[in-house]
Amino acid sequence: MKFLATIALSLTAWTAATTSTKSEPQSWRFAHSDAQILAGVDFRALATTETGRSLRDRFGATLGRGLLDQADRMLMSSVLDPKGRRSDIVILSGAFSLANLRKMATSEGAKVVSFKGVEIAAPPGSTAADPHLAWVVSAGDGTTLLIGNRPAIQAAAERAKTNRLESLAQGNRLFERAQELSPSFPVWVSCDTVPAGFAPKAVDALLDSDEENSAVDGMDLGIRAGATADVNLWIWANTEEVADQVLGHLTASVGSKDSFVLAPWLKELKGQIEGSTLALGAPVAAADIAQRVAPLLAAFALPVSVQAAAPMPAPAVRAKVEANVPVTGLPAEAPKSAAPPPPPKKLVVRIAGLDDGDKEIPYATRQ
């Protein structure tokens, strides 16, 4: 067994993958059934501790305090559209006032239109590709807010109207993992791969060289922000050998000058291989959690404000391309020291060893 550091940490045991008997949250009906990234935030849970509130405020700086004060939970779903462009939908559930939403939108000059039961507020001068704010009222479910560009919101409205014969977790492993993560972690992310730029370049090279055979099935991130704060990471490799190689590359990068998102954590992380899964974890000082965790979340383009003393690397999540962090589209004051993360780079899949040389193709067209 290899360790990245000598600091002892009791990792939360990861339960075996089983079909959950819990019903899926109603907000999931707006998510992509083929989502490549899912992320969730329990704002109500974060608000119960000072540590959690400091992290919650980072979302408030981007989403706007008016919306955050009424939001209980957030779900972000991301996928690539048929043209290889990233499509995000941010879903907020909570005790929203329908009258206040309409008043807020119209007072800022937004044009409100209806689409299949969803009211969409288009900011003044916006195009279909710009972020919009929308809301839908369902009997018994309260008001749900949707944030995304106009096509993403309209597609989410279409999905919500579809009667699904099976749960999303049955057709997409990310939803099953989401059901396992959300009870234990107020902030979590589940991705179908490892973000490029998240780990050392050697890990990127390992994944790129075996993209077709899917050396890694995905990565999950769980963050606790209570009396005990910690970061937990699972990399789902196909074999124990691949998991050992990833751990070896992380170990070799301790103290190196390479720039990647996980670099500041290596000296604190403790890792072990459980079957073919690489499990990593590190404690976080309560006073530092917002500053330290925000760059991890920004790597997946969550709507979180990043404050950093030095420029952060610009990771590109393989399942995402060409999109900025989604915002409401309605003006919101952000702290002067807040610096939004740069947009992810365009994504391609590299195929080597062809007769006519290496070839790069858009991620969306991979087989």
User: Can you spell out the DSSP letters for 286-333?
Assistant: GGGHHHHHHHHHHTTT-S--B--SSPPP--B-TT--S-PPP--SS---
Which residue, 148, 143, 146, is CA-closest to 79?
Answer: 148
- Residue 337 burial class via C-beta count within 10 angstroms: exposed 0-12, middle 13-18, buried 19 and up: exposed
Residue 354: band (very low, low, confident or very high) from pLDDT cuts 50, 70, 90 = very low
Summarize pLDDT for 172-214 with one digit per residue, the tens: 889 999 999 999 999 999 998 888 889 999 988 887 765 556 6
Q: What does pTM read for this prediction?
A: 0.77
Give yes or no for residue 92 having a pLDDT over 80: yes
Summarize pLDDT for 130-147 with one digit per residue, the tens: 989 999 987 666 789 999
The backbone torsions φ and ψ at residue 280, rounded to the nearest 5 degrees and listed phi first, read -125, 150
| CA-atom Rg of the chain in angstroms | 20
Summarize pLDDT for 203-257 with one digit per residue, the tens: 888 877 655 566 888 999 999 998 889 999 999 998 999 999 999 999 999 988 8
The ranges assigned to domains in the chain are 34-365
Identify the residue with better confidence: 306 or 356: 306
